[in-house]
Structure 1
Amino acid sequence: MANLAAVALEFAEQQRKQRLLDVLADRDRIAQDLHDNVIQRLFATGMSLQSSMVPGADPQRVAAVVQHAVEQLDRTVREIRTTIFDLHTTGAAASTSLRRRLLDAVGDLSIHSTVAPNVQFVGPIDTLVPDRIHPHAEAVLREGLSNALRHSQSDKITVAVTADDSFSIEIVDNGTGLPATPRRSGLANLERRAEQCAGVCSIGPGPDGGTRVLWTVPL
């Protein structure tokens, strides 16, 4: 009994150390993300604002620079909020986080792309959305975002994920729009997954041209 107790204590200690290593590794990754994305963007935004303060600068150019700086700051705030969420979901909880799964999907798809999608989360995604919807949501995001990155020829893509009375994924780009005869396989897959969750999927032109995909299921 004493030997078994000793083994159990040793095993528990090793598990504790492994969890600590996982936490430290994840925090190191988050710190690297903050440095590579947030800090660099803030530095670039500051430089662009400084360049607009030259005496005699064109007012229209100054207005464009300020507008771009505001957009970059807004995006930076969202990324910091996501980082804070990551710190709260480090470890076992992160593996079941739908928000984390969707962010990982966006990262996987855009790592070699020249366009960085703007991702927005609204509402308690991880609290309201049941587990049965998670694989559908990830598959829909991958399909819709992959199409936008590969075929839309856009320079701006927005992904909005919302949870309230319903759960929705909206992907909007400013590209060339839907072709006259779009491939039905990918679109049919999105529609089929919506039907399996008692929801709907609409695909059409965006508010400023391009394409808008809206996948919605009730909660």
Structure 2
Amino acid sequence: MSLRSALTPVVTRWRTANPYALDTALAALVLFAVSLQWMFPDEGDDPLTWRGWLLGAGTALPLIWRRRAPCAAACAVSVATPAQALLHAPPPDVMYGGMVVLYTLATVGKPWQRRMMLVCWVIGVVATMQHQSNKEPFEYAFHLMGIICAYALGMLTRVQRAYTTELEDRARRLERERAADTARARAEERSRIARDMHDILAHAVSLMVVQAEAGPVVVRKDPERAEATFDTIAATGRDAMAQLRKILGVLKEEQERANGTAVLRLPQPSVTALPGLIRQVGESTGLRVELRTTGEPCPLSSDTEVAVYRVVQEALTNTVKHARASRAVVGLHWAEERLTLTVTDDGRGPSSSQGGHGLIGIRERAAACGGDAETGSGPDGGFRVLVRLPAATDRQEALG
């Protein structure tokens, strides 16, 4: 075990101990050091008196309050120390109390307090040394270096504490920012999952409802078509269940891997899947859907590819559920590195039932990809969904 690892628990306990108990112990230690002159007297012209000992105690006892009232404690020590030296009863060999209060003020005092105290002690040491008998030149340097070193050590401690505090504050800010980023990512992911599940369920259920409503009619008139209708309902339901199981399975796996942070990475549909979607809607509902493409296609980011598919899916689902339309047109217009997507029908136009989560999801998807969406009446009647989406900025983004 290294010396540092052995001392770390001791230092930790020392820092977390009661500060008043520590200051009392420090005052007792300084009082013991001051009393050494009386315990081991040497020959000299300065007498050892009780008055001198009391003045020496006056340089130690105020240290008990050095953290509660640092300036008052420093002033008390600053008065007792020169008084002891001027009365020759006897003068202190080492100014223990003075070095402690200078260190304390340099650490916790206000700028004017610590600067004023340092200047007063420098002047006081020089002045009191003039009244000390048998003084030696090196004693000036000894006392001056002692108080200056104590002050410098206090300033170093002050800077170190400020630096440590800044690091701790920065760590707390980074932790709060990380928690906020995590919460924001989770909220965005929950919103995306909700949109995907809404699109999958709404589309599948709408097709199933249309087929189920037509089932009783065709059962009596065309049994073979009725059988195909029920097969379509079953296939649509199985497809929806398979997609939901895939979403929930990957979500559970990612939650366990990321300790609760869900990040889905499912194979997502793209623009190339639109013909299949249109064919499915037409075969399942009897709605005539036409896909029209103009311009030269440009690469899209993976999120934009998914948004195009989901917008078309949601728009056609709304057409099947609400529009009472017989025909719909899906238009893809590529121009100036931008895709303009339109879905129009020849139904009854806007209604209050078409202002729900589906249209909100379309706007959210467009905004998330840096585009915008408009919904309302078409130029020739019916209902129109218009979405403008930007192309990928570079090849890497296009590849996702």
Please, what TM-score do these two structures have when normalized by structure 2?
0.29
Where does residue 171 of structure 1 map in the other structure? 343
Supply the distance in 2 between the matched residues of 1:135 and 1:195 (Cα, whole angstroms). 13
1:36-83: CA deviation from partner (whole Å, max 9, x where unpaired): xxxxxxxxxxxxxxxxxxxxxxxxxxxxxxxxxxxxxxxxxxxxxxxx
Where does residue 292 of structure 2 map in the other structure? 120
Where does residue 210 of structure 1 map in the other structure? 382
| More helix as a share of residues | 2
Supply the distance in 1 between the matched residues of 2:361 and 2:382 (Cα, whole angstroms). 21
Cα–Cα, structure 1 residues 212 and 122, in superposed 2: closer, same or farther, change >3 Å?
A: same
Cα–Cα, structure 1 residues 142 and 164, in superposed 2: closer, same or farther, change >3 Å?
A: same
Is 1:142 equivalent to 2:323 in the alignment? Answer: no
Cα–Cα, structure 1 residues 124 and 96, in superposed 2: closer, same or farther, change >3 Å?
A: farther
Q: What is the CA distance between 1:208 and its match in structure 2?
A: 1.5
| More strand as a share of residues | 1
Where does residue 162 of structure 2 map in the other structure? none
Gaps of 5+ in 1: 1-94
Q: 1:186 aligns with which of 335, 353, 358?
A: 358
Cα–Cα, structure 1 residues 99 and 182, in superposed 2: closer, same or farther, change >3 Å?
A: closer
Supply the distance in 2 between the matched residues of 1:156 and 1:134 (Cα, whole angstroms). 25
Letter in 2 for 1:105: L
Supply the distance in 2 between the matched residues of 1:146 and 1:96 (Cα, whole angstroms). 19
Where does residue 151 of structure 1 map in the other structure? 322
| Bigger Rg over Cα | 2
Comparing 109-118 and 138-147, the one that deviates more = 109-118
- Local SS of the residue matching 2:352: coil
Q: CA RMSD of the aligned region, Å?
A: 2.2
- Local SS of the residue matching 1:111: helix
Where does residue 143 of structure 2 map in the other structure? none
Comparing 135-144 and 157-166, the one that deviates more = 157-166
Where does residue 370 of structure 2 map in the other structure? 198
Q: What is the CA distance between 1:105 and its match in structure 2?
A: 1.6
Please, what TM-score do these two structures have when normalized by structure 1?
0.52
Where does residue 103 of structure 1 map in the other structure? 275
- Local SS of the residue matching 2:374: strand
Which one has more relative contact order, counting CA pairs under 8 Å at least 6 apart?
1
Cα–Cα, structure 1 residues 193 and 96, in superposed 2: closer, same or farther, change >3 Å?
A: closer
- Local SS of the residue matching 1:213: strand
Supply the distance in 1 between the matched residues of 2:272 and 2:389 (Cα, whole angstroms). 20
1:75-96: CA deviation from partner (whole Å, max 9, x where unpaired): xxxxxxxxxxxxxxxxxxxx99
Cα–Cα, structure 1 residues 159 and 148, in superposed 2: closer, same or farther, change >3 Å?
A: same
Where does residue 43 of structure 1 map in the other structure? none
Alignment of 1:39-54 (within 5 A): none
1:138-187: CA deviation from partner (whole Å, max 9, x where unpaired): 11110011111222111221110122221121011111111135332001
Q: How many residues align?
A: 124
Q: What is the CA distance between 1:122 and its match in structure 2?
A: 1.5
Supply the distance in 2 between the matched residues of 1:146 and 1:106 (Cα, whole angstroms). 11
Comparing 168-177 and 187-196, the one that deviates more = 168-177
